[in-house]
Structure 1
Amino acid sequence: MRQMIVHCEHENIQMALIEDGRLAEFAVERNSEQSVVGSIYKGKVVNVLPGMQAAFVDIGLKKNAFLYVDDVLHPHLEKQPKQKPSISQLLTVGQELIVQVMKEPRGGKGARVTTHFSLPGRCMVYMPTADYVAVSKKIERDAERSRLKGIGEQLRTGEEGIIIRTVSEDEPIDFIRSDLEFLREEWARITEKARKLQAPALLHRDLGLLQRLIRDSFDPYEDELVIDSLPKAEETISYLKDSVPGIEPKVIHYSESVPLFQAYGIDDQLKTGFARKIALPEGVTIVIDQTEAMTIIDVNTAKYIGGDNLGETILQTNLLAAREIARILRLWDIGGIIIVDFIDMEREEHRHQVAAAMEEAIRKDRSKTFVVGWTKLDLLEMTRKKARESMPLPFAKPCGACGGRGFVLPSGG
């Protein structure tokens, strides 16, 4: 059973996703710092850089947004030219265009934007110009994949593109059609606003944290949602009933005197789950170090003694660690390049088993995660896509004394 525990306080919303009693995901949104990922703007090109094959677009934020040439070409690979044109052939300074934010502004960098538009719904992602149908890889049955792909092809018109999500599995065509019609209307509203407004202008903002997570993560038939705000609980029930007619969602308004996160043991799990060194009950330890370029994860046996066979003990240690590392990646929302230093294994078969265990464990991850394979130094290389800033520690800031390095330099004298 999965539970979504939501704590609302002043300007903050904190969400904890519990799977089998353990913290699997944690997210925070401050109303004053609402994410712009997924938002659609009418922008104006202010600079075109052929050497970088990119342009900068004013969308009304503090920093101009970055638009790469690949995000200007047709979203369907088969419809792109065999030889990539110069960005200067596609865009000119002063040109107005509609763009969608795909990555948050970070540090001194502006947001990254694209013209490959996508509007996520409950059962599909609608792409008004993509011209293809795809089905979630998490739907494994060939017959069901073929049925859903056929429905997508039947429903779409013109150059519309559709990615059918896992929630559509075994659902009738009317369920999928209603979602498509809603998203079509949303896109029509966006294009109408673009026609009327001058750049830069906001045309569409994605849902807030609570509704977004309910749309993307919450199963209204199986999952339970506990929330300590009565207005938000009522709003959530209304949203779910509109999204999935005919259900009675499992939404509980928590009103006890004990704080919600304390009552559900989330405070304790946050303290241990975001530590640099994580010890599993079996005695295995995992150490996580983040740099600007990548994340390094080290696995140690610590107190785990396993059986009499050293090779099997190492294998079991690494298998335990692989499943836990997949959970850590989701919980910390780690993105980019990830290198895992498992305990050295002599047998190639064991390395295959560990990589397979990792691939199986990351199937629960909503973010696109890819196991690249083993390097020549027997390190497992992975990548994980993310659009928003990761949060190594909720509400935490780097230490003022050591600058986040983990140590304090001795004073001179």
Structure 2
Amino acid sequence: MVKEILVDVDLKETRVAIVKNNKLSEIYFERENDNQVVGNIYKGIVTDVLPGMQAAFVNVGLEKNVFLHVSDALALVSDEKRNKNLSIQEVVQPGQKIMVQITKEPLGSKGARVTCDLNLPGRYLVLMVTMDHIGISRRITDSQKRNRLKEITQGFKPDDKGLIVRTAAADKSSAALKRDFNFLIKLWEKIVHHYHNSEAPALLHSDLNLASKIVRDKFTKKIDRVLIDDREEYQDIIELLDFISPSLKSKVQFYDRTKPIFEYYNLEPAIDKTLKRQVWLDCGGYIVVDITEALTSIDVNTGKYVGDTDLADTVLKTNKEAAREIAKQLKLRDIGGIIIIDFIDMDNTEDQKEVLAVLDEELQKDKTKTTILGLTELGLVEMTRKKEKEGVEEFLQKPCPYCDGKGRVLSEDTMALRAIRKLRDLFAEQNDEAVLLEVHPQVAARLIGLGGNNLKELEAELDRHIYVKGSEELHIEEIDIVETGSKKAIAELASPVEVGERKKLEIEEPHVTNKQDGISRIEGFIIDVTDGGHLVGEKVEVEITDVYRTYAKAKVIRNI
């Protein structure tokens, strides 16, 4: 398997993709104006202590005060008191100056979450400033390697601090680990100096930028290549590797092709797919991903897959493939929080266990902590995935300003009926003989009806002249009463063309009922071009031959 890290640097945004066999596996974003604050260390001032929440709010200079729970503040008290059930008032007081580190990005209306248990990550080690402990990455499973790493780190660990040995350290020498430790200790001393010489609130330490962080945390010997399309970022990465892992420098290359790196690797369509609700499986089934504020629901369907043997086998194969795809999508989209999965119903208990085993096996490959809680009485799989920052959907999108997050809009028929009620209300209050109504073209089609029959009935009911104009610029749920007045004035306003006038336009589509004719539009007004059906997509000059209430007829003079 070929595994690559691709770095795309723009003036306003940096994107980093991890690609396996030319397929997108992970995607990360960092924008110029975004405050990526996780890992940052601040000198802050306690502003509020809330006994009811057992928490405090701390001003660190960000837009919103950060949230400090009592369980994350115990590093401020002595070791003897940490095991006691302390209240937040016994740990911090308003006005107190403390050092905190961001553990969770601000999400929505919530401010960032912080801790007083400070950690400084290096290439191979994490320095735990407030804990006396040595931990070995659970991904290092070989007992001999674990014992070797523990023995090495015990040789230089300070008595009042702790160390976590990262996965990348598995086969590294004692000298490499000691060099990483020395860097972290010097960094901590610099932070302490800054703390004592700064006025709160103040930023004491900020983590690396996105590209450098990915290289530090994910660039191991298992990565075949790192490609970077920015010369300055390339040099920064080389300098970083000079210190943390010189042997990997040969795998870093500068991308200098004319075609943008993400286009060359065909990643743009793959990124767009991370925003789709429906994800097709190779077998022909599909999953549907719905992300809400409370939880994420994932539904599994057989789709076009009919299987080879019997229904139970078809369901099992679809569910197993879906389990693999779900684990992939959770990681790719960085979905966190509560997740509910509705696999296709399985009557066989053994089949259920097999599907859950596949899901669990795939989730083990995800470094973000996940927990499968099991099947509910309704046969739904409950699980959680740690949420530390915005997922891809939240980062790239915003709530729809039209549907207010519902994901649905009113139908053309509903809007046509609303337009009719609006006209009834209008003419109940005033006596103008005509009106020009502007709506979305699909709504206009419903109002006018086949051959104008719906419009004729409405005019007969209201005893008024009604002109309907379709506009692509209007949202489907908008209704615009443009003008009311005399029939002559509104007719002139409604029609943008006159008989005998020549216009240059593009044939947009064939006529719905008369395929020989072509349809174009001028300011939303329909132009029926006689014998223009075969000219769809072409630009022509036409002469207006007839003008009616809702459309005009024209003939082709010449192709342009």
| TM-score bucket of the superposed structures, by smaller chain | over 0.9
Alignment pair present for 1:30 and 2:4:
no
Q: Partner of 1:214 in structure 2?
A: 215
Q: Partner of 2:495 in structure 1?
A: none
Q: Partner of 2:379 in structure 1?
A: 378
Query: 3-state SS of the aligned residue for 1:130?
Result: coil
Q: Partner of 1:92 in structure 2?
A: 93
AA paired with 2:184?
L
Q: Partner of 1:301 in structure 2?
A: 302
Change (3 A) 1:393 1:23: farther
Change (3 A) 1:349 1:159: farther
AA paired with 1:154?
G
Shift of 1:81: 4.5
Query: 3-state SS of the aligned residue for 1:381?
Result: strand
Shift of 1:135: 1.3
Q: Partner of 2:438 in structure 1?
A: none
Partner Cα separation in structure 1 for residue 81 and residue 287 of structure 2: 44
Cα distance per residue 1:177-218 (max 9 Å; x no partner) = 211111111111111111111111000001111001111112
Contact 1:74 1:80 in 2 (8 A): no
AA paired with 1:13?
T
Alignment pair present for 1:158 and 2:159:
yes
AA paired with 1:129?
T
> Unpaired runs of 5+ in structure 1?
none
Partner Cα separation in structure 2 for residue 136 and residue 65 of structure 1: 29
Partner Cα separation in structure 2 for residue 152 and residue 314 of structure 1: 50
Query: 3-state SS of the aligned residue for 1:131?
Result: coil
Worse-matched range after superposition: 298-307 or 387-396: 387-396
Change (3 A) 1:395 1:291: closer
Partner Cα separation in structure 2 for residue 101 and residue 375 of structure 1: 35
Partner Cα separation in structure 1 for residue 295 and residue 222 of structure 2: 38
Shift of 1:297: 0.7
AA paired with 1:117?
L
Change (3 A) 1:258 1:305: same
Query: 3-state SS of the aligned residue for 1:241?
Result: helix
Shift of 1:146: 2.5
Partner Cα separation in structure 2 for residue 33 and residue 164 of structure 1: 31
Shift of 1:21: 2.4
AA paired with 1:57?
V
Alignment of 1:352-391 (within 5 A): 352-391=353-392
Partner Cα separation in structure 2 for residue 240 and residue 31 of structure 1: 24
Q: Partner of 2:238 in structure 1?
A: 237
Alignment of 1:209-358 (within 5 A): 209-220=210-221, 222-358=223-359
AA paired with 1:71?
D
AA paired with 2:149?
L
Query: 3-state SS of the aligned residue for 2:293?
Result: coil
Partner Cα separation in structure 2 for residue 353 and residue 249 of structure 1: 43
Contact 2:107 2:390 in 1 (8 A): yes
Q: Partner of 1:198 in structure 2?
A: 199
Partner Cα separation in structure 2 for residue 377 and residue 174 of structure 1: 56
Task: State, as a whole percentage, how many aligned pairs show the same letter.
Answer: 41
Change (3 A) 1:144 1:312: farther
Shift of 1:55: 0.5
Cα distance per residue 1:109-161 (max 9 Å; x no partner) = 22111001111111122111111111111112222222223333333121212
Contact 1:53 1:86 in 2 (8 A): yes
Q: Partner of 1:19 in structure 2?
A: 20
Partner Cα separation in structure 2 for residue 118 and residue 376 of structure 1: 42
Change (3 A) 1:327 1:9: same
Q: Partner of 2:444 in structure 1?
A: none
Change (3 A) 1:80 1:307: farther
Contact 1:138 1:363 in 2 (8 A): no
Q: Partner of 2:177 in structure 1?
A: 176
AA paired with 1:349?
E
Shift of 1:82: 4.8
Change (3 A) 1:194 1:393: closer
AA paired with 1:203?
L
Shift of 1:336: 0.9
Contact 2:107 2:389 in 1 (8 A): no
Partner Cα separation in structure 2 for residue 4 and residue 107 of structure 1: 30
Shift of 1:375: 2.1
Query: 3-state SS of the aligned residue for 1:146?
Result: helix
Shift of 1:72: 0.9
Contact 2:3 2:222 in 1 (8 A): no
Shift of 1:101: 0.6
Contact 1:334 1:384 in 2 (8 A): yes
Worse-matched range after superposition: 40-49 or 222-231: 222-231
Partner Cα separation in structure 2 for residue 216 and residue 356 of structure 1: 28
Cα distance per residue 1:351-406 (max 9 Å; x no partner) = 22222222221233232222222222222222111322122176333322212322
Partner Cα separation in structure 2 for residue 361 and residue 5 of structure 1: 24
AA paired with 2:258?
S
Alignment pair present for 1:52 and 2:56:
no
Partner Cα separation in structure 1 for residue 153 and residue 80 of structure 2: 20
Change (3 A) 1:296 1:143: same
Contact 1:274 1:393 in 2 (8 A): no
Q: Partner of 2:509 in structure 1?
A: none
> Unpaired runs of 5+ in structure 2?
422-560
AA paired with 2:365?
K
Contact 1:220 1:240 in 2 (8 A): no
Alignment of 1:58-207 (within 5 A): 58-74=59-75, 81-207=82-208
Query: 3-state SS of the aligned residue for 1:155?
Result: coil
Shift of 1:220: 4.8
Worse-matched range after superposition: 332-341 or 133-142: 133-142
AA paired with 1:248?
K
CA RMSD of aligned residues (A): 2.0
Mark the structure with the bigger radius of gyration.
2
Query: Larger relative CO (CA 8 A, sep 6+): 1 or 2?
Result: 1
Partner Cα separation in structure 1 for residue 49 and residue 339 of structure 2: 33
Partner Cα separation in structure 2 for residue 163 and residue 240 of structure 1: 21
Cα distance per residue 1:65-104 (max 9 Å; x no partner) = 110000012499x977554211001111111100001111
